[in-house]
Amino acid sequence: MTSAHRALDDIVAFSRKLGERSDLVLHGGGNTSIKATVTDVFGDAADVIYVKGSGWDLATIEAAGFVPLRSDRLAKLLTLDSISDSEMMNELRLASLDSTAPDASVEALLHSFLPATAVLHSHADAIVTLSNLVDGERRVRELYGDRLVVVPYVMPGFDLAKAASELWKAESTPESLGMVLLNHGLFTVGDTAAEAYERHIGLVTEAEHYAASVSGAAPAAAPVDLAVSSLETALTVAGLRTEVSAAAGMPMILRRTTGVDVAAFVGRDDLASIAAQGPLTPEHSIRTKRVPQLGRDVAGYTAAYNSYVAHNTGDRAITPLTPEPRVILDSELGLLTAGRTAKDAAIAADIYRHTIGVIGTATRISEYRALSPADIFDVEYWELEQAKLARESTPLPFRGEVVIVTGAASGIGRACAEAFLAAGAAVIGLDRDPGVADTFSGAAWLGIEVDVTDVDAMRAAVYAGVDCFGGVDMLVMAAGIFAASAPIAELDLSSWRTSMAVNADAAVALLQIAHPFLKLAPDSGRVVLIATKNAAAPGPGAAAYSASKTAAVQLARVAALEWAEDGIRVNMVHPDAVFDTALWTPELIAARAAKYGMSESEYKTRNLLHAEVTSARVASMVQLMCTDVFDCTTGAQVPVDGGSDRIV
């Protein structure tokens, strides 16, 4: 193994150790580097610095996430007096020895000039707490002395790297362990990644102990009991989401977060002034905007945001960002965070909960003081962020929208959930199978174990989904049962009642629960019922299934009539012979095929088109019905059965 390979292994290992602590880095924040010597394509030795690539998360980073940059080219860049950040990023690409590597961190030059093998950078809560105090610089200098070079705030990019390199030359000593960038974070250096990490943790721990030793009493706060999930609370959240989406010009996810820390923060007597200070670091504004909205006046917030943009733009040519709030603080609802995706909303929630913690500690020590609005604006409208905005690809078709899918743990329901997730939707998956919670993963999935015949449990599940995502745009009713086949003369009435309860009664209850939320959907509500070809062509022995499903079809048709005034579309899909569901076991398929004197393959395709109907094909039709292709269609019944001579 070459020294470069060993260096990469070391920096990967200790980057992950740094990244696993949310009090040090959050969601792609922080960056790390290590220097090594490699042999280039000409056989010449080349000094390089492996720097974390943009888009990689320290908690999960791999060797492929580091960019090998020529050290001599980076040193030469720092001799320039000035260069735009876009030009700097281009130069970093030209300095890379690997054309397939990601773009290097914008802070690569900061890593390059430090005279150490390994460099670790975090936005540690404890460090940011001290540096965001009104007397933060004094306290940082007193605590660390000559061990850390203190760099006053400069916007990230070339100017920061230039200023920090000059301060390092002027103020560092042999005892210097790194740098504190005020209102930004901590850099530590070491001969190895392990040494840089140990120093990092040691310095952060010192800051924590210092804060604890000088903290006073908590600020005055009114006792707040945040509203529990209920119809009133859920409708308030959904209404706010509708307003936020209108301000953004697109559907948005709105995540509600409660907890002791949130309740204490929204109950503070000084909430209005402290929340208006701004974020812990200017980079947070990209996720949370500069300040949160207090209360429920979305129109007032958007007007204030537009004024902030107009005041700070000057003669710059910018593309204004959408003006909706990304963080809302409400004395009854708690913390709400908005995002174009469920992941974005979850990240904003994580960031703001850390903000709550830092502000709480800071105000027990001294006075919390964020950067000026002008400084925050410069990062929010950074040329690199503006360029990223210009490059933004076409969003997925259901980005920002929320769908409830019943029967989501298997069969057609699972296929529908998977299809909507892939198309950008947030999915509330309901199923009586306990495994539904883990059927899919990620911020856009909420799987809830629930029996659809338990109306109270269904209601609670919908409210939990609204807490998580902000509302309901679409409802896909896929849950159903097929009772044991029996002629009417021998039909077990309990089996009949169970079929009616699951296939029809539960559909009535869920439509009633979902209706007020579907009315508030930013792009109109949509419902799709997974029905059956038995509604048009019942078979002998299937009375309970055919009758209960036909009842659900009639219910959906009436809903289409009644809900059209609310802009809600209600359509139906009639699948048949979908063999990759729990209804069909290999043994049953084999027995049915033998009964008809067919091979299993022939039996699966015994329709007019000789097509095999799968759950995924049914899900494709369901998804299509929720797009604008069907925006003038309601009450439709579409077969997905390959063509049936009993119906056609």
Question: Hey, which residues are catalytic here?
Answer: 545
Annotate 390-458 with three-state secondary structure: HHCCCCCCCCCCEEEEECCCCHHHHHHHHHHHHCCCEEEEEECCHHHHHCCCCCCEEEEECCCCCHHHH
Alpha carbons 482 and 495: distance in angstroms, whole number: 10
Joined tokens for residue 193: 């990644």
HSE-up (13 A, CA, CB side) for residue 531: 30
Q: Which of 35, 32, 34, 27 is nearest to 15 (CA)?
A: 32
- 299's enclosing H/E stretch is helix 298-313
Helices (H), 314-400: 342-365, 373-380, 383-391
Alpha carbons 80 and 416: distance in angstroms, whole number: 56
Q: Which of 322, 323, 327 is nearest to 255 (CA)?
A: 327
Alpha carbons 22 and 194: distance in angstroms, whole number: 19
Residue 222's region, left for phi above 0, alpha for psi from -120 to 50, else beta, is beta
Kind of pairing, strands 445-449 and 426-431? Answer: parallel
The Cα diameter of the chain in Å comes to 97
- What residues contact residue 498 under an 8 Å CB cut-off, 6+ apart? 481, 483, 544
Integer angstrom CA distances of residue 609 from 322, 597, 641, 643, 645? 49, 19, 9, 6, 11
Joined tokens for residue 592: 């049915």
Phi/psi at 434 (nearest 5 deg)?
A: -60, -25
Position 66, amino acid: F
Q: Which of 12, 77, 73, 68 is nearest to 41 (CA)?
A: 68
The shares of helix, strand and coil residues in the chain, as percent rounded to the nearest 5, are 50, 15, 35
Annotate 199-261 with three-state secondary structure: HHHHHHHHHHHHHHHHCCCCCCECCCCCCCCCHHHHHHHHHHHHHHHHHHCCCCEEEEECCHH
Phi/psi at 121 (nearest 5 deg)?
A: -130, 130
Alpha carbons 215 and 208: distance in angstroms, whole number: 11
First to last CA, the chain: 69
DSSP state of 277: S
- What residues contact residue 475 under an 8 Å CB cut-off, 6+ apart? 403, 404, 510, 511, 514, 518, 525, 526, 527, 528
DSSP state of 502: I
**Considering Cα of 222, then 228, then 234, then 235, what sign does the dihedral take?**
negative
CA angle 435, 438, 440 (to 5 degrees): 125
Joined tokens for residue 122: 């975090």
Alpha carbons 205 and 21: distance in angstroms, whole number: 13
Q: Which of 352, 126, 368, 343 is nearest to 259 (CA)?
A: 352
